[in-house]
Amino acid sequence: MRLLLIVALLGAVLAEDDWKAVNVDRTIDATSQIVKISTLYSFENIGAGPQSKVSIALTKEEVAGLSHITAAIDGTKGKLKVAEKPVDRGLGIYDVDLRTPIAKGAKVTLRVNLRLTQVLEPLPAKISQSENQFVVLHTSAYVPSRYETVTQKTTIRTTQGGKLLSATTVSPSKQETERVSYGPYANIPAFESKPIKVHYENNSPFVVATIVERYIEVSHWGNIAVEEYVELVHKGAELDGPFSRIDYQMDRRGRRQPAFQQFTTVLPAQAKDIYYRDEIGNISTSAVRIRADSVDVEIRPRFPLFGGWKTSYIIGYNLPSEEYLYSKGNQYALKTKLFDHVFSDIVVEKLRTKVLLPEHVKRVKVVTPYVVDRRPDELKPTYLDTTGRLVVVLEKNNVVPDHSQFFTVTYEFNHMDMLREPLLAAAFFFSLFFVMIVYSRFDFTISSDPAKEAEERSQLSLEKLSKSVDSKQAAYDALIDAAQHYKSTKDEAELQEAKKIFNETRNQENSNLTDKISALKTDVGIAAAEKAAELLKYDKAVCDSVENYIKAVEKSTTKTAGPEEQQFVNKVKDARIRADNVLASI
């Protein structure tokens, strides 16, 4: 009876362990500043029925430095959902949703990838320029697990060609060049741990970006401007003592010094107008290489970064909107990288991505591939803006290159709003013109100058007079044209009509002239008016000969102008000259 009770209790306790880890193969890649752990779990369902959730355990250190976690069924591409659970007996628990339930007794193979940042501890913490950098990796010889593990093995990859100072021995463990292997261990109970330390040489620069501010400015005129502000700190072993440029140049380790000398930033293939600068100005020690599917910017900061040193810079480029902006009606969607390549194995403490959308956008929605903190929207006024552009601010801490993924911002925008910018510029120019128009209507003269005013008035009258003379002459020309036309058509009525129009025009202009001349008399003076009166009579002789001219035309049988007609044309020309003389004399 008592035995039965114990068995029942044991059963109740074991009921939690619905899975058994049949085989675990863990590889820890600690060659750079990011610790990359790839674990292949083989789980067997020992529960009462089918299950679709399995738990992954992480040590406390791993949880603290965890930046990125992915889980997938080995051999497939689809990523599984991973959810964080409360800490259990000192281990961080993450639930993996397997999507399809696994039958009782069946096995599933999971590949879990972890990216840990800032978990390697430099030892010694300070080194001189000529020394190499050594770091300590703290982990457990046993793979942390919530379930009992039948067999397991761990391989730790240390730097190629680097020294291995020490590694905790947990039999059977083996130290080889470039790697330390632990295991295989058989039948390790759940929550068992065996802390180990691996002290090895790691000269890869531990350069951390304390902040990366990424601006993505969308212009509907066909451009997406990207700018990144990057602050870098070397967080490896600090430089102890002085820095010598000569020693640095002559260092036989070359690129393998623990200093950060140069790096390559990979930009999208369509990137153009690339700039790389800092507070001082352009940094000329950079080169752009155009590759088939990317644009590589080779960057060499102003000085090499030793432990504890900092630098900051700005890199920017333009992208065509066709590649990243989509539209349908007034719906727009921007699909671009939330975080893009800076250099391989970068660690970013704080990533702030700002998306500057055009003015007057509505219903902005952001879809990100992983959880980010959306800060309150901002307004940023730039060129030709009235209220300022909407800025979507997204923040994320502890970012690694695996976070370089696409995200989508959808919004509504009325494309007629694009006209606002040129119209704003036009309104600006118009206001300048308008100021000119108003200004020119003010009179700022201190004393009035009657002579000048009279001069201006007579100028105006003269203009009017000459206009009347012009139309009178135009009437003669029209008459001559009509006469020429008559010669080919022989249409009597047309000619009479033209003559009538001519007479009307002439009388009209003469009466106009009479009015203007009387106005001139009051404005300018009697002398001028008398001279101007000549304009009424100057063409009298021509006018009298119109009848003769018409007759001559009617009689004429040839197409070319006869002597009488020629005479008339000359008379018209003479009249014009006479009128001009009269105008000039006034």
Partner 1 sequence: MDISKMDRYAAPVHFSSLPLLTTFLCGVGLLLLAAFTMLQVTATKYNRNFLKELFIAATASIFLGFGSVFLLLWVGIYV
Binding site for partner 1 (CB under 8 A): 217, 219-223, 225, 273, 318, 321-323, 325-328, 331-333, 335, 382-384, 408, 410, 415, 418, 421-430, 432-434, 436-437, 440-441, 443, 456-457, 459-460, 463
**Angstrom distance (rounded) from CA 359 to CA 219:** 10
Shortest Cβ 399–partner 1 spacing (Å): 24
CB-nearer residue toward partner 1: 7 or 425: 425
CB 241 within 8 A of CB 124: no
Shortest Cβ 139–partner 1 spacing (Å): 42
Token pair in block for residue 62: 């791993």
Amino acid at 115: R
CB-nearer residue toward partner 1: 131 or 385: 385
Token pair in block for residue 322: 């066709």
**Angstrom distance (rounded) from CA 14 to CA 147:** 10
Token pair in block for residue 14: 């074991």
- Give residue for tokens 């180990």: 196
- Give residue for tokens 């761990």: 154
Shortest Cβ 220–partner 1 spacing (Å): 7
CB-nearer residue toward partner 1: 77 or 441: 441
Maximum Cα–Cα distance across the chain: 152
Shortest Cβ 407–partner 1 spacing (Å): 11
Token pair in block for residue 564: 């009488």
CA gyration radius for the chain?
46
CB-nearer residue toward partner 1: 290 or 460: 460
Shortest Cβ 267–partner 1 spacing (Å): 17
CB-nearer residue toward partner 1: 217 or 565: 217
CB 40 within 8 A of CB 94: no
CB 44 within 8 A of CB 19: yes
CB-nearer residue toward partner 1: 323 or 497: 323
Shortest Cβ 330–partner 1 spacing (Å): 11
CB 195 within 8 A of CB 219: no
Shortest Cβ 112–partner 1 spacing (Å): 30
In this structure, the chain runs to a length of 586
- Extended beta strands in 268-330, E state: 272-277, 286-290, 295-299, 310-320, 325-328
Residues paired with residue 176 on neighbouring β-strands, in sequence order? 179
Shortest Cβ 413–partner 1 spacing (Å): 10
Token pair in block for residue 516: 């203007």
Shortest Cβ 108–partner 1 spacing (Å): 32
Sign of the dihedral through C-alpha 193, 199, 203, 205: positive
CB-nearer residue toward partner 1: 382 or 585: 382
Cα 278 versus chain centre, distance: 19
Shortest Cβ 219–partner 1 spacing (Å): 4
Shortest Cβ 321–partner 1 spacing (Å): 5
CB-nearer residue toward partner 1: 322 or 504: 322
- Strand-strand pairing, 207-219 and 347-356: parallel
CB-nearer residue toward partner 1: 161 or 222: 222
Residue 22: name the closest of 171, 188, 192 by CA: 188
Token pair in block for residue 344: 């391989």
Return the SS3 of 519: helix
CB 180 within 8 A of CB 198: yes
**Angstrom distance (rounded) from CA 441 to CA 454:** 18
Shortest Cβ 435–partner 1 spacing (Å): 10
CB 396 within 8 A of CB 351: yes
CB-nearer residue toward partner 1: 217 or 345: 217
Cβ neighbours for 308, distance < 8 A, ≥ 6 positions apart = 233, 234, 238, 239
CB-nearer residue toward partner 1: 50 or 222: 222
CB 21 within 8 A of CB 149: yes
Token pair in block for residue 66: 């965890």
CB-nearer residue toward partner 1: 303 or 326: 326
Cα dist. 219→2, 267, 269, 421 in Å? 78, 19, 19, 12
DSSP string, 408-419: EEEEE--GGGGG
CB 34 within 8 A of CB 400: yes
CB-nearer residue toward partner 1: 62 or 421: 421
CB 385 within 8 A of CB 359: yes
Shortest Cβ 319–partner 1 spacing (Å): 11
CB-nearer residue toward partner 1: 66 or 325: 325
Shortest Cβ 570–partner 1 spacing (Å): 35
